[in-house]
Amino acid sequence: MAMSSSKTIRRLEVVSPVPADIDIANSVEPLPISDIAQALNLGPKHYDLYGKYKAKVLLSVLDELEGAEDGYYVVVGGITPTPLGEGKSTTTVGLCQALGAFLDKKVFTCLRQPSQGPTFGIKGGAAGGGYSQVIPMDEFNLHLTGDIHAITAANNLLAAAIDTRIFHEASQSDKALFNRLCPPNKEGKRTFADIMHRRLKKLGIAKTNPDELTPEEIKRFARLDIDPESITWRRVMDVNDRFLRKITVGQGPEEKGMVRETGFDISVASEIMAVLALTTSLADMRERLGRMVIGNSKAGEPITADDLGLGGALTVLMKDAINPTLMQTLEGTPVLVHAGPFANIAHGNSSIVADKIALKLVGKSGFVVTEAGFGADIGTEKFMNIKCRYSGLVPQCAVIVATIRALKMHGGGPEVAAGKPLDHAYLAENVTLVEAGCVNLARHIANTKAYGVNVVVAINKFASDTEAEMSVVRTAALAAGAFDAVVCTHHAHGGKGAVDLGIAVQRACESVTQLLRFLYPLEFSIKEKIEAIAKSYGASGVEYSEQAEKQIEMYSRQGFSGLPICMAKTQYSFSHIPSQKGAPTGFVLPIRDVRASIGAGFIYPLVGTMSTMPGLPTRPCFFDIDIDIATGKVLGLS
């Protein structure tokens, strides 16, 4: 099932100045997704159509291609960004358009699915931009194929099960609980549901007949005895709603005064989203969902979704979401969109299964380009140390996206804020500021090179950038050890504007000589792993709060210390202080708390305060979003 030479490539007619993203997207008629699939040698048995322009690629494709060689694997990260973003998604798409439409390479783009919260909030969508986009843009940024809705449903089913179990345990004896959990059938015979055998095994109870359990075993089996204070599982919705950050549940008269404080996260911050991104198969997803820990018993033992009897039902809700969604770029190259975990609380990368499918479909000498969220200190670090550990995949090249704007900020330029006009310093030539800011780029290059990959710097050119400024960046990048540094204009010109980047990436992949090296071994203690990552930020040490010490001790005692670390830290600085630009050193990194996503498979220390439910600004993006009632086309998406 080798990927054929694509008959789906289209040439763009670019306009200057560059129109609004949605206008460009609406000006190009997408090809039927069956045409994109056919060019990949995928037949109707390999995918399920979701309308004319989207399809779910089935995991059975991986089984058919098991013996096929993988293509080259490229990750796109960035320097520490401004709040405006530096164009990682746009560069990822532009690079793939260059490789596929201009350099005649077999290529796949793998991206995360955007959350509707930012789409209607302050950030806008995440389909790329200008002439380097995924289309249909409106479908990409809105419901897509319903994966986020499935995660929302599964997450909230588990939340409902937790409070309900506490409620029933509070009002029933051990025997009554057991009788309801294992009711007799019509013949009067009791049986355990299949999922209950998982809890029995965990408790060391070898019996398979409910009637043989002793009163002590009945109590241990039936009574989870969840400590409400320990519950970490919150409800979710895919909307920015600051007023749901803290809520009180159980105020109805039927709940008998069982009131507790909890809150909502945005859906993409759910651990179920991180599970989807890190799973390798349906069987693996079933195990990960079942072992998600929602809190502890009053005796301090972890309580899992399987203890609540829910792992199977969660998997059923997620059974279609596990299949990645096939889409296309403006120039007709194929895209797999899958998963969208938070890049600070979670690991901020699209799914392992999408990357694996894409690597087999492009085959030897083809390219799969995937994006890692935020700066390389967060997204690329987690790509290497978490995603690649679970996938077993080895990247050959890492792209670091840089802009003159961000480098000027790191060189001491004025504050950059979303929604405010850029200071004149960012619109006029200032080589000195750029030069000073290159310390940030240099540290990202050194950190990324240490994984054993070749690093290519993509200088994402804006209209006000000058030749002298870009020359400084290229010189600094090469001096810091980059394989190459290339100026790109893909936002304005599509794939044609990233041809040089495509050539550099190809050369970097072909000449890599080392295998992937992780930042730390899993055998390290939780603290040793945290400190290894902190050192890469430039920290001189780590300071743990009393709460963090307590959690580290508990997770170590519960047997979770062998998991990788997923640092939850600001994306706006190497340090924990967003205003510290450039490449700060000598700071002590404070760990406020330590939490765990056991199903997804990582421990996440909190560096400062992380919001898992964004709020809406005074003027959200939704003011601009409407529909053309004559044509049905979406207007105003950005």
Question: Could you read off the pLDDT of 195-234 as tens digits, one per residue?
Answer: 999 999 999 999 999 999 999 999 999 999 999 999 999 9
What per-residue confidence (pLDDT) applies to 125? 62
Distance CA 456, CA 481 (A): 10
- Residue 5, pLDDT > 50, answer no
CATH T-level fold of 5-145+320-510: Rossmann fold (3.40.50)
The confidence band for 474, taking pLDDT boundaries of 50, 70 and 90, is: very high
Read off the pTM.
0.94
- Residues 337-392: tens digit of each pLDDT: 999 998 778 899 999 999 999 999 999 999 999 999 889 999 999 999 999 999 99
Q: Is the peptide bond before 215 cis (omega within 30 degrees of 0)?
A: no
How many residues does this entry show for the chain?
A: 638
- Residues 399-416: tens digit of each pLDDT: 999 999 999 999 999 999
Distance CA 578, CA 374 (A): 13
Q: Please state whether beta strands 235-237 and 367-371 pair in parallel, antiparallel, or not at all (unpaired).
A: unpaired
Q: Report domain extents, the chain.
A: 5-145+320-510, 148-317, 526-606
Token pair recorded at residue 213: 């359990």
CATH T-level fold of 148-317: Domain 2, N(10)-formyltetrahydrofolate synthetase (3.30.1510)
pLDDT-above-90 percentage for the chain? 82
CATH T-level fold of 526-606: Formyltetrahydrofolate synthetase; domain 3 (3.10.410)
- Residue 545, pLDDT > 50, answer yes
- Residues 46-64: tens digit of each pLDDT: 999 999 999 999 999 999 9
* Mean model confidence pLDDT for the chain: 94
Q: Residue 8 to residues 28, 40, 144, 331, 334: CA-CA distances in angstroms?
A: 13, 10, 22, 8, 9
Q: Give yes or no for a contact between 377 and 444, defined as CB atoms under 8 angstroms apart.
A: yes
The confidence band for 3, taking pLDDT boundaries of 50, 70 and 90, is: low
